[in-house]
Amino acid sequence: MLVITLCVYYHRRMVIISVFFIIAFSSFVQTASGFGIALISTPLLINLVGITITAPLVALVAMLCRIVMLIHYHENFNIAEVWRMMLTAIIGIPFGFLLYLSLDKHTVEILLGVIVAGYAVYSLISPKVPPMSDNRWAYGLGFIAGILGGAYNMGGMPAVIYGTGRQWSPKTFKGNLQLVALVTGTLIIITRGASGEYTPTVLVLVLVGAPATVFGAILGFWSDNYLRGILFRRGVLVLMLVIGLDLIF
């Protein structure tokens, strides 16, 4: 009995430590590159605590990270550039959440792996995104962002494509992405809360994830002037590819 108790205690302790470092690293990547907290933390946490805990947990800690980033980049976002994307993303979120509820968890994980690995391959190949002089691109990409956000908390990928096409500066890129994610993430959190996903286990892990998020964000801001942007981004994308393939296979 004592051995079983010690094993359970050790397992719980390792889970908490692992959750802290996964979220801290994901927050670091997010603040250093402008994206990545959900793309990295979700697949890793799924393998650790399962999709039912991961989805609401990531929604909350990602929101905290975005708030911290918006405070830091408060002079660098332009709402005129992103309001169209926010509007259609809000419309797309319920569709994504219904998709998430309608699929069995194994299928959700495989699709998540396909999305993460596909985005990593796309970004590593670096196809040239055509200039989007017409801001009506934001409507379609925003709707896709809403679906991915509602299903997987991963609405940032279409926003990254749009920002690249609009040729935003690095700081505007980071600020605008967080502004979109702040609005859509609020609706995602409300939706998940209404469905009863914020269990005591999730809330306990949020208490672990909150300081990890702030710690990772501080490291990301500090390293902003030291990291070699392209090299760092490619390293993150290779990691995402490995994580995505692990979920698929």
pTM, entire model = 0.86
Q: Which strand (E) or helix (H) includes residue 190?
A: helix 170-194
Give me the residue label for tokens 């990270």.
65
Other CB atoms within 10 Å distance of the CB of residue 105: 12
DSSP result, 52-91: HHHHHHHHHHHHHHHHHHHHHTTTS--HHHHHHHHHHHHH
What pLDDT shows up at residue 30? 87
Average pLDDT over residues 74-97: 90
Residue 2 has pLDDT above 60, yes or no: no
What pLDDT shows up at residue 60? 95
Res. 229 pLDDT band, cuts 50 70 90: low
**Residue 15 neighbours by CB under 8 Å, 6+ apart:** 48, 49
In whole angstroms, what is the distance from residue 23 CA to residue 30 CA? 10
Q: What percent of the chain has pLDDT over 90?
A: 37
CA 112 from centroid of its chain's CA atoms: 12
Residue 25 has pLDDT above 90, yes or no: yes
In whole angstroms, what is the distance from residue 97 CA to residue 160 CA? 21
What pLDDT shows up at residue 6? 41
The per-residue pLDDT of the chain, averaged, comes to: 86
Res. 96 pLDDT band, cuts 50 70 90: very high
Angle at alpha carbon of residue 203, lines to 199 and 206, rounded to 5°: 140
In whole angstroms, what is the distance from residue 115 CA to residue 148 CA? 9
Residue 1 has pLDDT above 60, yes or no: no
Give me the residue label for tokens 């392209």.
230
Identify which of 65, 199, 76, 89 has the alpha carbon closest to the alpha carbon of residue 147: 89
And the tokens for 219? 């490291």
Identify which of 95, 107, 83, 234 has the alpha carbon closest to the alpha carbon of residue 159: 83
And the tokens for 16? 């908490």
Residue 85 has pLDDT above 70, yes or no: yes
Residue 234 has pLDDT above 60, yes or no: yes
- Provide the residue type at 158 as one letter: P
Q: How many residues does the chain have?
A: 249
